[in-house]
Amino acid sequence: MAFSVVMPALEMAQETGKLIAWRKQEGDRVTKGEPLLEIETDKAVLELEAPADGILAGIKASAGADIPVGQTIAWILAPGEKPPAEDAAQGTPVARASSATKIEHPLTAAQGIADTALRSPARISPKARRLAQELGVDITTVRGSGSDGEILAADVQAAAAAPTPGSTAASKQSKIEVPSSIGRLMAERTTQSWTTVPHFFVSREVEANALNAYREEVVAEIERTYGVRITHTDLLVALVARVLLKHPRLNASWSAEVIRLHDHVNVAIAIAVDDGVVAAVIPNAHRANLAEIATQRRDVAERARAGKLRPTDVSDATFTISNLGMYQVDAFSAIITPPQAAILAVGAIIDRVVAIESKPAVRPVMTLTLSTDHRVADGARAALFLNDLADAIRQPGNLLS
C-alpha cells in the first residue's frame, strides 16, 4: 500500500512550507517514525517523520521549494510497488478538526477585517504576497525564481534588502538585515495578534516560598529516579494545567466568530532560540506528572535549539506560558498567540518586604501577568483564574501530590 508524504498543516493560517533538506534519498528504505526530511513552516524548522515502513519513491520536490500544505511531495511504497499515477488530494489543504472541543457562540460577533492583500498579474505565492505588503515591496518590480516565474518569499526578501536607486551615501552605509523565518514569523504573528485581538491584562503578586520549598522536596527524588531536573517552569506548567480545568474560557480558542472550549490542556512553553522564540507544546499537561513534564520540556527545548522540532512539538497548544524569571525580569505583559485565549507572563522570584499579620517581613514573591482575549473571557474570569492559580502556588502539594 502506498503512503503519501505531504506538507503538514500546523495551523489554519498556514498556506505553504519550505523543504529544507531530505534525510533520505530516492530508493532508500525507511522506517516509520525515523526523520525523513526537514521543513520550514510558519512556526519553525521541523523534522518530518516517515509515516510508514517502505521504500522512498516518487520525490516531487527538492530542497528550497515552497510547497502548499497538503500537497504530496513523495511516496513510501512496498518493494516493487510504483507511485500512484495521479494524486487525488494534490494541493488540497489538510483539514483538521477535533471532536474534543466544545463550540460556544459569543453574544456579539467580531468585526470583519478588511482584505488589504496586494494584487498583481504576476504569479505570487500567498506567503510572498503577505511579506511584500509588510516590507513595502512593489511586486511588479520583483523577478520570480519559482516555477513559471512565480514570485516566492525569498524573492521578496531579496528585493527588500537590495539598495534602491538614488539612495544617499549614508543609507548605503547602513546595514540591512533580512529576518530569518522564525524572526519573520514573530513579526507577522505579533503584529496580527496585537492589531486584531482585543488584549487586556491582569497582574497578581504571589508569595513563592511554598513553591520553592516544594521544588526542593521533590527535586532530589525525581532527579535520582528519572535523571531530569525539575524547574520552576515545570511546576508552573503542572499547576496552570490543573487550574485551567476549572476555567474553560481561559483554555479556549477564538475561531470564525465562535469560542472553542477544549477538554484537554496542551500548554506551550515559550523557548528562546538563536533567531527568535518558538512555543513548544506539552500535550495533555493536566494529566502529566512532574517527571513527565520535565522530561518533555527538556527534550523539546533541546530540539528547538538544534532546529530539530517535529510537527507535533508545535501544534495544538491551548494556552501558553512565557517565563522570563531566569533573565531577572520583574514583570512583563506578553502578546497572545492566536487562536489561543490567553498567555501567562511570569517574572522572577524576588525577595520583597510584605505585610504579615500587620508586620513587615521578607518573602520571595513572583509577579504573574495574564494577557486575555476579551472576545473569549472578561476581567472577572481572568481574575478568578489568577486567584485559583495563586492559591495553587501557595499550596502546590494540594494539586501535585
Q: Are residues 372 and 257 in the same domain?
A: yes
Does the pLDDT at position 30 exceed 50? yes
Q: Which residues pair with 268 in a beta bridge?
A: 281, 320
Residue 212 lies in a domain: yes
Cell of 329: 525580569
Dump pLDDT digits (tens) for 125-140: 767 787 887 788 888 8
Mean pLDDT of 230-239: 96
Number of domains in the chain: 3
User: In a 3-state reduction of DSSP, which class is residue 291?
Assistant: helix
Handedness of CA 394, 396, 399, 401 (dihedral sign): negative
Q: Are residues 211 and 331 in the same domain?
A: yes
Best mean pLDDT range from 6-10, 32-36, 104-108, 376-380: 376-380
Q: Are residues 249 and 361 in the same domain?
A: yes
Residue with cell 501535585: 400
Residue with cell 505553504: 16
CATH assignment at residue 143? 4.10.320.10
State the pLDDT confidence band at 288, using cuts at 50, 70 and 90. Answer: very high
- Of 27, 52, 77, the one marking the end of a domain is 77
Q: What is the C-alpha separation between 230 and 303, in angstroms, rounded? A: 18
Q: Are residues 126 and 248 in the same domain?
A: no
Q: Are residues 246 and 390 in the same domain?
A: yes
Q: How far is CA 305 from CA 6, 22, 275, 285, in A?
A: 25, 20, 10, 22
Q: Are residues 270 and 391 in the same domain?
A: yes
Is the separation of the CB atoms in 135 and 126 below 8 Å?
no
Q: What is the C-alpha separation between 287 and 217, in angstroms, rounded? A: 21
- Of 27, 51, 77, the one marking the end of a domain is 77
Q: Are residues 158 and 275 in the same domain?
A: no
Buried-exposed string 81-94: b where 16+ CB fall within 10 A, e elsewhere: eebeeebeeeeebe
Give the pLDDT score at 223: 86
Give the pLDDT score at 280: 92
Instruction: State pTM to two decimals.
Output: 0.71
Q: Are residues 160 and 201 in the same domain?
A: no
Residue 21 lies in a domain: yes
Q: Is 262 a catalytic residue?
A: no
Residue 316 lies in a domain: yes
Dump pLDDT digits (tens) for 47-88: 888 999 999 998 998 888 888 888 899 999 998 888 887 544
Q: Are residues 64 and 146 in the same domain?
A: no
Q: Are residues 24 and 140 in the same domain?
A: no
3-state helix, strand, coil in the chain (%, to 5): 30, 25, 40
Pick the catalytic residue from 87, 263, 374, 391. 374
State the pLDDT confidence band at 290, using cuts at 50, 70 and 90. Answer: very high
CATH assignment at residue 214? 3.30.559.10
Domain enclosing residue 256, as ranges: 197-400
Alpha helices in 227-309 (DSSP H): 232-244, 290-305
Residue 52 lies in a domain: yes
Q: What is the C-alpha separation between 210 and 116, in angstroms, rounded? A: 52
Is the separation of the CB atoms in 11 and 315 below 8 Å?
yes
Does the pLDDT at position 95 exceed 70? no
CATH assignment at residue 44? 2.40.50.100
The kind and range of the H/E element at 360 are: strand 359-373
Supply the DSSP symbol for 336.
P
Residue 57 lies in a domain: yes
Q: Is 234 a catalytic residue?
A: no
Residue 15 lies in a domain: yes
State the pLDDT confidence band at 247, using cuts at 50, 70 and 90. Answer: very high
Give the pLDDT score at 87: 46
Query: Which of 81, 88, 87, 93 has the alpha carbon at shortest distance from 53?
Result: 81
User: In a 3-state reduction of DSSP, which class is residue 371?
Assistant: strand
Pick the catalytic residue from 299, 330, 351, 378. 378
Does the pLDDT at position 104 exceed 50? yes
Residue 14 lies in a domain: yes
Residue 187 lies in a domain: no
List CB contacts of 142: < 8 A, sequence separation 6 or more. Answer: 122, 132, 151, 155, 156, 159
Q: What is the mean pLDDT of the chain?
A: 84
Q: Picking from 79-88, 228-237, 311-320, which range would have the lowest pLDDT averaged per residue? A: 79-88
Q: Which residue has the higher pLDDT, 260 or 173?
A: 260
Q: Are residues 215 and 354 in the same domain?
A: yes
Q: Are residues 219 and 149 in the same domain?
A: no
